[in-house]
Each structure stands twice: as structure tokens, then as C-alpha cells.
Chain A
Amino acid sequence: MGADYSLAELLIVAASEAWRDNGELLASGIGVVPRLGASLAKLTHSPELMLTDAEAFLVEEPVPIGARGEYRPQFSGYMPFARVFDCVWGGRRHVMISPLQIDRFGQTNLSAIGGFARPKVQMLGMRGLPGNSISHPNSMFVPAHSPRVFVAGEVDVVGGVGYNPKRWPPGASTAHLDLRYIITDLCVMDFGGRDHAIRVRSLHPGVTLAQVRAATGFALEAEETPPSTVAPTPEQLAIIRRLDPHELRAGVLKGNPPAGDARAAPS
């Protein structure tokens, strides 16, 4: 059964929930779905959030994605990278990124595949993952839920730190380690299981728990029948369509399926 909104739109709405009741912090959504999610959050349930123009200024009106035509952002404040770093270490930020790999502890990798010393594939590098993960709330967006992303064992390179006791030296503080949500094309998960284990919170329409488990390289906690991910409202869809006038969201998921389409089982 299809719906009159796309799966990407469902994921944007799910992503926006990550920033609910966060207070007055910098909502950083990296990539199309996280950015639209943060923007939607500010325009609906959490107007206190701070957003940037994705360059160096704060805005109170979320900036639409892509070529702007006549639109000119109006700036309310200043947020160059140096201040972003200050927000990170000061804990006043919640970022959502798409790591290459995530393990059962929530440790994440953007650095390299096949080990660091002589990588099979060199990727971006550490970027801000160690600092983000040890300093403030973090969420993740995974456009193709598979065992290649949700790996068995540990990620190849630990950039973002997680709930792996073996990685924490005695005396190090985990006080600000705060992993929140993982939004994928199959489900929404959080770290609410035993000892912060990853747990399925909701399944997208048409997706089964068995399918999610088969696409994950480690055991997931879940209720027997998790609820269905909440559908977008017409108001939310109108905002999303206004903020993404060039429909970049249609390129996020392979084939841009409608929500409720049976997703192909991952190979």
C-alpha cells in the first residue's frame, strides 16, 4: 500500500523528532534529510532551535536547499566554524550525520574502510566525530540500512565514540556522551536498550522487524510489535516542499519510493 508522500518525506519528519525538546541549541543537520528535519523541527514543534545558513551565519527562518533564486537569507547572528567548535565543546549543539559505519555501541566511522594504517578505502577523515560524540547529543541518518553500515563487531575506525566500556580509559568522563536517534530507510532506533543497546522504536509502513534484523550486523532490541513510524501531516509536507523547492530529497533514496512500498531486502 503506497501513500501520497515519499519515504524520504517520512524520514524527514522522523528526523525532525530528534530535535524536539532540545532547548536553545544549534541544530546541525548534515545532508538533505537531516537538514530538512532540523528546519522542520524549528518551524513546527521547536522554534527555539538555532539554525545556520549552512555557511557562517545564524538564521531564524530556515534557508531552503539549493539554488535560491530571489530568496535572500536574513541573518540573526554569526556562526563561523570557530564558533561551531565552541558550541560543540560547550555542549550546545545536536548534530545528525550519516556515518559510513555504525556498530552496536553507537561508535561511528567516517575515516577509512579496512583499517587506518593502510586503508582499503580512504574516506573523509575524523572530521568532528570524536569531539561531537563526547560533547553533545548526536543522531544519525542512514539512507540504506544494511550490514555494511550496521557492522558486526566494531567499526573499522572509531571516530565517534560510543557506549563501549573497553574503549573508555579509567577516569575519562562519559558525562556528555549522549547518542539519541538513528533514522534509517527501514526504521527509527534509539539507544534505550539495556546498557544503551540500540533498540527499534518504530518501523516504517510495510517494513517487518525480521527485515530490519536481517539488515543489521548485530542484535537489536525491540518490542515484539514495534509501532509504525508516525506519518507526516499535510502541514509538515507543505513545509518540506517549500524548503526543498528543487526536490533534492527525491535523490536521497534509491528510486525515491513512496512510503509504504515494500523495501527490497538487502543483499
Chain B
Amino acid sequence: MLDKTLTATAVVAALADGMTVGIGGWGARRKPMALVRAILRSALKDLTVVSYGGPDVGMLCAAGKVKKLIYGFVSLDVIPVEPWFRRAREAGTVEARELDEGLLQWGLRAAAMRLPFLPTPVGLASDVMSMNPEFRTVRSPYPDDTLLLAMPALRLDAALIHVDRADRLGNVQTLGPDPYFDEQFARAAERTFASCEELCERLDHTHGNDARMNLVERSYISGVVPASYGAHPTSNPPAYGWDLEHLKAYTALAAAASGWEQYTRSFLAEDEAQYLERVGGATRLAGLPLPVF
């Protein structure tokens, strides 16, 4: 029988310098942060990161892991602009490709369907075209003859997502109200690695009634990594909210010259068990209130 269980370290070992990595979640919501932290602790570098960005993008920028960013926004939700992303952009240390949020999804869908591009009017007449000089347009072959952007496929070498439950076969379930675009990230990627709050033997035996919460079929999941509170400091509703106190401390450090060294020293630690202790332990994290919108 399949057993896709991996450690976070093994996931990082499956990645290579220069890869294009997609990261699921949205802003400060259900980001695969345990896997991101494993990258932060590694020697991996020169990544192209595709994300509806939050602290995943900010931390990878701060740690010098990013060569190129492809994003629609990078935000901590209640802290509107991700502070470390802002710092990297203003310092000019990362190459940036900004997209409309819907275009990002469209590029993932093209990759998922093994198409070179998908057409859309979105992006025309905006600076999306000047920020992405490689983008080309096409004419509709039908009588309307409309000019459209040929949004190129965003092919990912790997995608990282965080889910509530996974089983050893690679079945995944997420219980929050919004699946975001994790499904599209997985379909666009050669391999997808999912960290999970809870690893089960067989979801069909224990949680079959929640099969509707299955994000994407298991053939797209290459590895599952047990990681309680693996989305911290982002939210993972309904289990826990984002850690605003932590996000504020992280934001304040972006104003300090050696802020990232301080963050690393204070929190990042050797592994996830140490990390969770340093950010207050499981009892505190379980009590993080869900955000009210």
C-alpha cells in the first residue's frame, strides 16, 4: 500500500536550487508555514516563488531564498502590506512579476490543463503588460476578432500546501470555509507536498463523511508531512486564527537592520517542535481566536 508520509526535511531535500515553487493559502491564511520554515533552515536558494503572498513570501525574501516573485499581492491581511516583502522590493533584491489575482489563477489553470496559455482580456491596458514584458497577445480566430492576453502557463516544479487532515495514501481534507486556490496550485505542479494538522491511516475509514472537503485527488499529492499548527502564524480555520501578536513582532523587526537575524534567533529554531515552544506552545496556539471579518 502507498505510504506518502515524509518529514519536512525530506520535502526540502526533494527541491533544488532555482526551482519554481507555488505556495497555497492566501495572505495570512492557511499557509504551509512549517514547510516554509524547513526551507528557511536549509541551504536552498534562487527560488521562483508563485503565491497569493503572505508571510511565506516575506520570510523567504528576508532569508535570501528568492530570485523571482510571481504574485497578485503580498499582505498580512490586518497588516495590509507584508513588511519583509516591502523591504525586499524597495531594496531591489528580488525580481518581481506582478499579476492580477485572477490572472495568477488563469496561469495555474493553463499549466494544469497542459496548455501553453489561456486567453483573457484581463491585464490589457494595465501595467501588468509592462511588468511582464514576455507576455504576448492573441486575436480571437472567431468573427469578434478581439485582442486578448495569452496568459502563459505557470508551471510549477513543486507546490506546497497545508491541510487539516491527510492520510498515508495522500488523501487530503481542509475544513476551513475557503479552499483558496490550493487545488490549482497542486494541478499546476510536478509534485505537491501537503503539511497536515493530523495524519490519519485511512480517511475513508475515519472521515469519509468529510470527503466533500477533499481539496484535490491524491494522484496530485506526492508527500504528506505531519505538522500540528503547521500554518502558524497564519490562520487555519476553524482550528485556530492567525497570531496577530507574532505578526506584529515580525513586522516591527522589518524596521531593524538585523531584524531577520533577530527573528531567526528568537523563533525559527532547529525544528518545528522547538519553534512551537518558542511561539508559546500548543495550548496558546489552540486558543488563537479566529479573525472576524
Contact = CB atoms under 8 A, between A and B. Distances in A.
A125 B126 contact: no
B12 interface: no
Interface string B101-131: 1110100000000000000111111111011
Contacts of B101: 81, 85, 126-128, 131
B81 A172 contact: no
B59 to A, nearest CB: 16
A120 B91 CA distance: 9
A111 B145 contact: no
Interface in A60-87: 66-68, 80-82, 85
A53 B131 contact: no
A159 B89 CA distance: 17
Given A82-B179, A130-B123, A119 B90 contact: yes
Given A111-B127, A122-B90, A172-B146, A134 B98 contact: no
B145 A129 contact: no
B100 interface: yes
A122 B122 contact: no
Contact of A161 (B71, B81, B125, B139): B125
Given A80-B177, A85-B105, A112-B89, A124 B128 contact: no
Interface of A: 53-57, 66-68, 80-82, 85, 88-89, 111-112, 116, 118-131, 133-135, 157-161, 164, 167-173
A163 B87 CA distance: 33
Given A80-B178, A81-B181, A168-B125, A55 B147 contact: no
A112 B128 CA distance: 13
17 contacts: A66-B292, A80-B180, A82-B181, A111-B98, A119-B90, A122-B85, A124-B75, A126-B128, A129-B126, A130-B126, A134-B122, A158-B125, A161-B124, A171-B146, A172-B125, A172-B147, A173-B121
A235 to B, nearest CB: 27
Given A124-B75, A131-B100, A119 B122 contact: no
B121 to A, nearest CB: 5
Contacts of A157: 127
Contacts of B264: none
Contact of A128 (B92, B100, B147, B292): B100
A89 B122 contact: yes
A68 B290 CA distance: 12
Nearest to A127: B73
| In the complex, the 9 A-B pairs of residues with the closest C-beta atoms, listed nearest first | A171-B147, A54-B293, A125-B73, A56-B177, A122-B89, A130-B100, A161-B125, A130-B126, A80-B178
A131 B126 CA distance: 10
Given A68-B292, A122-B86, A126-B101, A131 B122 contact: yes
Contacts of B121: 134-135, 172-173
A171 B86 CA distance: 36
B90 A89 contact: no
Contacts of A119: 89-90
Contacts of A56: 177-178
B98 A55 contact: no
Contact of B122 (A121, A127, A130, A164): A130
Contacts of A122: 81, 85-86, 89-90
B213 to A, nearest CB: 13
B147 A170 contact: yes
B244 to A, nearest CB: 14
B240 interface: no
Given A81-B26, A128-B101, A172 B124 contact: yes
A129 B127 CA distance: 11
Contact of A126 (B85, B100, B179): B100
Interface in B28-84: 53, 71-75, 80-81
Given A56-B177, A116-B131, A119-B90, A134 B75 contact: no
Nearest to A155: B127
Contacts of A80: 177-180
Nearest to B139: A171
A118 B92 contact: yes
A89 B148 CA distance: 14
Nearest to B89: A122
Interface centre among B26, B53, B72, B131 (most CB of A within 10 A): B72
A124 to B, nearest CB: 5
